[in-house]
Structure 1
């Protein structure tokens, strides 16, 4: 009888069900009290047999409250398969089942949102609006699940509940992330733009790690979408944690001036470590930037040394087919340019080696462990970097010249490009050099008292060059 009932549920045959009930009027009751994991209602609800579901619910409404081996009610299964009419019938029979969570900690609304079942979500929220406030085992709302699984259409259906209840849109999961944190972490641009239109959304909320959404973007792997996401967040008033602290300190109530001069001098001395800290932070950032650029130049120069313009010979050519010595012999693995243009090859190797060794010297100084924490050492490394970059530029044009055909038009174009590029590069180098000379002179004049130092916020210490040179 149980097998016949299971077959009837799979086929959705109401006639077979009625025939079984005539043979055994208690067959449905026996199914409820038995240890069967799935009831006929589970099967018919999952397969979308609406008439069969109505017949079972009309006779035994308690079937709607039964759970299978995964803790799922028939409502879970119907919602997952988007059987809208069955969802409606199940809600009428047992509306309390909307809040029941399965063994994954999810309600029928959660399942429908994950699957992107727009119609089911609409029906569930219409019948029981409070379902949007039910959480998963991880403290997630239905909004979190929509964002996690990139269900923008479902999320738009929940716009009204979000607008009515700001607590819902700002709810944080067990990791302290609200829906905007998750959308930013997953780089979902369309969802981010939609969420930023919701009034009451806290753009600068902190998660369990103390990060705002902008910090989460900065900490995440870089992506082509990052710039657009950052612009959208900042346009909505999003800030990083550091920027929030600066704003807080700017709006902090001013302290009452101390009459006692000794206390005032103590306060002024206490500001110096903050300035020094800012200078050290600047030096650290500069060293990191130099390390990155030096590593890139060293890699390029190393690769260029191994594969010079024109490549290397792929064979030995010492004698001809008759065994006689040839006039232009070459050896496998040696540079073609060294044989065809020894002068150009010499220039190429000189400037490429200069770029390679200059960049390696910066890396060596950075990892040497020597106490180079003053600006004078940073200047030395910056000058070496200028040399490395300039040598790399010369190497590029030497390579370009060698690879270009001896055509008049091509050579004329190459000559014009080279002249304009070199002139632009020299102008830029001159601007950088003059700018640094001016900064050094200002520092010297301030040090010896010819220029009075401005009293400024510690964060302006870098611009004023108040660190020891």
Structure 2
């Protein structure tokens, strides 16, 4: 098959002559279709992109959008050619027509973003990232990301720009994207940490380590030579032993061999139960738990039977079934005289103060116990259902729990029961601090944390990594 195109069409594209182009179409209506069937061809759009003929290029995009994704025999798309020849306006017009053109891979898997990164064109980097944020995930045939290419081509400003964009990205999936890109390995298993370390770019290394997810960066990752970034900095020369177990793998093996504890069985069971629930079932369960939480909280505001409207110290009664005091009807489950001693001993003596429930201590305790169990379990199930969400989004449930036990403390008919509620309210207050403390202990004992601290010290000539940086584990809870 003749892969050349009509010289008159090439000339029309070079000059941006749309009238001449349509004159050729009148002679041969299938001209563009035949070109489109050729796998690698220098289309009229390639020619227009090379020459910066915006009007003609947009006409081609309108008639044959597929031309924009075709590679010529040199392995370049129209956008690649426009970038190589500095046709920035045409690139922006192509980008506005189809943002995914940024992800078209040309020669050696290079995308337009990869190309502008190697050139160090900061303005175009921003334009491409804003148009198509996903393009930062694309890799070359050598498994290099845009960050790898920036460092390997000594485009430090471009690298700093890409890191800054990752750290300030607020789009959906930003956490996952940042972790993925910063830990990505090229064909030699080098992450951006390895490359920056090998080039002595300590400032850029610190910039990466100051990432929002610093403790999700695998600082213990080894390249094909068996070296971590820290070992490269310290000029530790050693050969990689391919048969040696990686520390992280050895840790996993050790953990899997350990006997499953009771609390782990519960966690595994809950995780499996959640995984087997459909999206519809999860939504329905979430609605039910929300309704239960609302109903239970309402009872802490309006308990059954109501509350005392005024202090009622005198317990004289006139009706044995419905005893009254100061013309106020008491609860019909008033303890018999033989039970009052036990009630006062275990639950405390009724205060009958204004604002407290008219329920007797025993009845209130039963009511409180059932309500509190239901309330706490509903919050627990809600937390499991929303386990994929950031913990801070569950803050309203946390404050609702505190409010519930405070309200039940105010309603309590005796001082002892009020103190019980205050105790559980205090437990609710301490929950996030205990979770953060457990997280801090877990992080501080991890080998990745120790490597991170040692790497920071190496970057600063052995000086302390800083107290504030030792508490960066708080970021892991965001």
| Same structural fold, with TM-score higher than 0.5 when normalized by the shorter chain | no
Give the structure-2-normalised TM-score. Answer: 0.43
TM-score (norm 1): 0.44
The higher relative CO (CA closer than 8 Å, separation ≥ 6) is in 2
